[in-house]
A and B are shown apart, each in its own frame.
Chain A
Amino acid sequence: MKKKKCVAMLLAGGQGTRLYALTSGIAKPAVSFGSKYRIIDFTLSNCTNSGIDTVGVLTQYEPLVLNEYIGGGKPWDLDRSYGGVHTLSPYQAKKGGEWYKGTANAIYQNIHFLNKYDSEHVLILSGDHIYKMDYSKMLAEHIANDADCTIAVIDVPWEEASRFGIMSFDENHRITEFAEKPAQPKSNHASMGVYIFKKDVLVRELTRDEEDEKSSNDFGKNVIPYMLNNGMRMFAYSFAGYWKDVGTITSLWEANMDLLGENPPMNLNEKEMRVYSRNEPLPPSFVGETGSVKNSIYTAGCEIYGTVINSVISEDVTIGVGSVVRNSVIMRGTVIGDNVTIDYGMIDENVTVCDGAKIGDDESSKDRIALIGRGCVIGSDAYIPSGEIVEKK
């Protein structure tokens, strides 16, 4: 078989504890986003749009929904006879088996996958970011620089820099310094968690790292610093464009809101960088005589008889007469009865909110979002104050 130029490894095993109820029973990359997507759609679509046709998705935490969603990879054109998308879970082998200990260990345990395709380069991605990026441009730079490793960086506001892996580089973009979540950041070039390695270098480094008992087997904490300290050719690739880490309720909410407005910060209508997703066979959305929608997006299967303002409504959602949904994210299959008010709410999939319920209050804000977990039933005239988390038992 012809060798692949580059295969992608997508880290999708994180639990996403800071999303609380949203990730109970479901992996973070499978969380609903932006009306018709799940978070992982963005990275998978990026791969397709960048000409990468072989993707290993490393799953560990609650992989059921994610595995089912990815399936054979058809929605992203990743159903290929050679290559395509593969979900890679921890497995039992002759010498025993173990859970993925860290990001680097997860890839290490799947070196056989990398060896099978034996590509020249390996792209490492994480499944919890919202962005559209053409990786082929980064790969071209990586090859031109003859880099051992290229790390995508984006300039973040200085006050946020200490939340990220921060890099300094010279005029040739060669990395001189790397600090994981530094208290006093020296630059605002943040790692996006997107790496390209020469495959041979990656295999060598992962094997070495695995043998180091003190290592926590993490790219940011161990592998990258080691490579840098040992003078390997490490380059930064500057990305300018929309990029958002959706690790917290507030940032997930913000990313959803970034799809609204006249010129949304995240434009989903670009032809060349389309975002693909698995589509349910549903009728187009209906807004009734009593319905009103302002500055919002919604998709197939919705039936809207109430008022929707500044909100993101997923497929197959019903909103009853007299209800007002404001500044909220309503995920797929949720049914909202009549005369319900929701302000700054994040309502997960298949929730039922009965007539007259009130979610949110005067204190509601993006930092005090009321979160209703999947499958919950909120009773008639129930009151859920701002900042509350309701989870199904």
Chain B
Amino acid sequence: MKTLGIVFSNIHDKDVNELTTTRTLASVPFGGRFRLIDFVLSNMVNSGIYNVGIITKYNYQSLMEHLGSGKSWDLSRKRGGLVLLPPYGRESSAVYSSRFEAISNSAYYLREASEDYVVMSDCDNVCNIDFSEVVAYHVRKHADITVVYRKKEIPENETKMRTSVVIDEDGKVKRVVTGNKHHGTINAFTNMLVINRQFLLSIIDNAEELGYKSFSRDVLIRGVNEYNIYGYEYTGYFASIDSMPNYYKHSLQLLDKETRDQLFRGAGAIYTKVRDSAPCRIAESGKVKNSLIADGCVIEGEVENSILFRGAKVKKGAKVVGSVLFNNVVIEENSYVNCVIAEKDVRVLQNRTLSGHETRPYFLPKDTIV
């Protein structure tokens, strides 16, 4: 079954403002050596999807740098491969404002393709899913659209906007609900779906006539009776990064072996850009507990319950607890850092004490010197 992939790279940028000032959400670092987009790209490649379009809108320089030709994901290919889809058009108005506009903007790409099915996914879905199973299910059900959902417990007091689906015993979606009054166990939409390419093109072509503006409102919610929409349940580990505390929480969840095994040793491997850093080195004076440490790190001090990205350095007498340190962060002698998210190239000088709280991690922007 030939399938094409579409990834939305900017879609929730605003939710994690701090991390997206100089990059797209897709290129936000995650898990010590990855960027968020590595997960969806690897999932697609592992599912046999070798033609992937990435819809970008702004700030995509770091994303382009990360992706390069797509080599690291085996997406530098003669047939298909990786295509970046920036806004298309001469006027500034061509910068789209909704998911639907974004897809419409890339209609030429969809039209050129020959694949029968399209997998659409946001870039911030951290999971290990086999899309080929979803597509097989989609074909078996003769569906126009198959949305991927997962069971999720929503606490009483939560007010976040969510989209959930109600399905019948056959898996057909009866109702799609968007709102902030969800609670109890819901079938939460994961922002991953399979759609027939021709069907998608016909929607795009007739959007004006049909009065379609929003994909979830007009196609999913209003179209539920008109179109053949099915639901596919995903049961593995899933995280979507939609706020800073959430980013922090999901990052530290990786310290749990079960989570790591599901995410990294599940259906397929997770690929990322190779940086050829040296192995990490723990010095005689170094102490590491319950932490993920990437290549290129040099640890002379103490690290506990933390995630260190490539090339981070913790000097003698320094202590890092419950923190996430991005590439090349340096914590100098005798400093103490607790519940901190430190962006690339941050430098904490000697004898400093910095502390946040797990509900509100202390954030240090890029290049900060404390």
A297 B292 Cβ-Cβ under 8 A: no
Is B270 interfacial (CB 8 A cutoff)? yes
A297 B293 Cβ-Cβ under 8 A: no
Is B151 interfacial (CB 8 A cutoff)? no
Is B276 interfacial (CB 8 A cutoff)? yes
B257 A303 Cβ-Cβ under 8 A: yes
Within 8 A of B (CB), among A279-329: 279-289, 291-300, 303, 312
Known contacts A286-B291, A287-B289, A287-B291: does B282 contact A281 (CB below 8 Å)?
no
Known contacts A275-B276, A285-B280: does B295 contact A36 (CB below 8 Å)?
yes
A284 B33 Cβ-Cβ under 8 A: yes
Contact with A along B273-285 (1 / 0, CB 8 A): 0101111111110
Is B98 interfacial (CB 8 A cutoff)? no
A286 B279 Cβ-Cβ under 8 A: no
Residue of B nearest to A301 (CB): B264
Task: Report the separation of the CA atoms of residues A275 and B295 in the bound assembly, to the nearest whole angstrom.
Answer: 13
Is B8 interfacial (CB 8 A cutoff)? no
B274 A75 Cβ-Cβ under 8 A: yes
Task: Report the separation of the CA atoms of residues A293 and B296 in the bound assembly, to the nearest whole angstrom.
Answer: 16
B276 A300 Cβ-Cβ under 8 A: no
Is A184 interfacial (CB 8 A cutoff)? no
Task: Report the separation of the CA atoms of residues A50 and B279 in the bound assembly, to the nearest whole angstrom.
Answer: 23
Known contacts A74-B71, A269-B296: does B283 contact A289 (CB below 8 Å)?
no
B269 A286 Cβ-Cβ under 8 A: no
Is B163 interfacial (CB 8 A cutoff)? no
Within 8 A of A (CB), among B223-270: 254-255, 257, 260, 263-265, 269-270
Interface size class of A (residues with CB under 8 A): 35 or more
- Max chain B Cβ within 10 angstroms of own Cβ: one of A35, A264, A281, A289: A281
Within 8 A of A (CB), among B296-349: 296, 298, 307
B contacts with A, residue count (CB < 8 A): 39
B283 A298 Cβ-Cβ under 8 A: no
Tell me the smallest distance from the CB of B198 to a CB of chain A, in Å.
34
Is A362 interfacial (CB 8 A cutoff)? no
A284 B282 Cβ-Cβ under 8 A: no
Residues from chain A with Cβ under 8 Å of B263 in the complex: 283
A283 B288 Cβ-Cβ under 8 A: no
Residue of B nearest to A37 (CB): B279
Task: Report the separation of the CA atoms of residues A288 and B288 in the bound assembly, to the nearest whole angstrom.
Answer: 8
- Max chain A Cβ within 10 angstroms of own Cβ: one of B272, B274, B298: B274
Task: Report the separation of the CA atoms of residues A300 and B33 in the bound assembly, to the nearest whole angstrom.
Answer: 9
Contact of A299 among B257, B260, B279, B291 (CB under 8 A): B279
Is A170 interfacial (CB 8 A cutoff)? no
Tell me the smallest distance from the CB of A290 to a CB of chain B, in Å.
9
Is B290 interfacial (CB 8 A cutoff)? yes
B294 A298 Cβ-Cβ under 8 A: no
Residues from chain A with Cβ under 8 Å of B288 in the complex: 287, 291-293
B279 A34 Cβ-Cβ under 8 A: yes
Contact of B272 among A259, A281, A295 (CB under 8 A): A281
Task: Report the separation of the CA atoms of residues A96 and B281 in the bound assembly, to the nearest whole angstrom.
Answer: 52
A298 B286 Cβ-Cβ under 8 A: no
Residues from chain A with Cβ under 8 Å of B295 in the complex: 36, 284, 299-300
Is A232 interfacial (CB 8 A cutoff)? no
Task: Report the separation of the CA atoms of residues A262 and B316 in the bound assembly, to the nearest whole angstrom.
Answer: 11
B270 A281 Cβ-Cβ under 8 A: yes
Tell me the smallest distance from the CB of A335 to a CB of chain B, in Å.
14
Is B362 interfacial (CB 8 A cutoff)? no
B283 A288 Cβ-Cβ under 8 A: no
B293 A285 Cβ-Cβ under 8 A: yes
Within 8 A of B (CB), among A121-139: none
Tell me the smallest distance from the CB of A67 to a CB of chain B, in Å.
20
Is A186 interfacial (CB 8 A cutoff)? no
Residues from chain B with Cβ under 8 Å of A275 in the complex: 276, 278
Contact of B276 among A262, A264, A276 (CB under 8 A): A276
Known contacts A262-B283, A297-B279: does B274 contact A283 (CB below 8 Å)?
no
Task: Report the separation of the CA atoms of residues A280 and B268 in the bound assembly, to the nearest whole angstrom.
Answer: 12
Task: Report the separation of the CA atoms of residues A287 and B282 in the bound assembly, to the nearest whole angstrom.
Answer: 11
Task: Report the separation of the CA atoms of residues A295 and B282 in the bound assembly, to the nearest whole angstrom.
Answer: 5
Is B32 interfacial (CB 8 A cutoff)? yes
Is B42 interfacial (CB 8 A cutoff)? yes
Contact of B287 among A75, A279, A282, A292 (CB under 8 A): A292
Residues from chain B with Cβ under 8 Å of A292 in the complex: 287-289
Residue of A nearest to B273 (CB): A279
Known contacts A269-B296, A303-B257: does B31 contact A284 (CB below 8 Å)?
yes
A36 B279 Cβ-Cβ under 8 A: yes
Is B149 interfacial (CB 8 A cutoff)? no
Contact of B281 among A274, A282, A283, A297 (CB under 8 A): A297
Give me 6 A-to-B residue pairs in the complex whose CB atoms sit less than 8 angstroms apart, sorted by A's number.
A34-B279, A36-B295, A284-B294, A287-B290, A293-B282, A295-B284
Closest 8 CB pairs of A and B: A268-B278, A284-B32, A35-B279, A281-B269, A283-B264, A299-B279, A297-B279, A293-B282
B residues contacting A by CB (< 8 A) are 31-33, 42, 71, 254-255, 257, 260, 263-265, 269-272, 274, 276-284, 286-296, 298, 307
A residues contacting B by CB (< 8 A) are 34-36, 74-75, 259-260, 262, 264, 268-269, 274-277, 279-289, 291-300, 303, 312
Q: A264-B281, A284-B33 are in contact. List 12 more A-B contacts (CB 8 A).
A: A259-B279, A262-B284, A268-B278, A269-B296, A284-B31, A287-B289, A287-B291, A295-B286, A297-B279, A299-B280, A300-B33, A312-B279
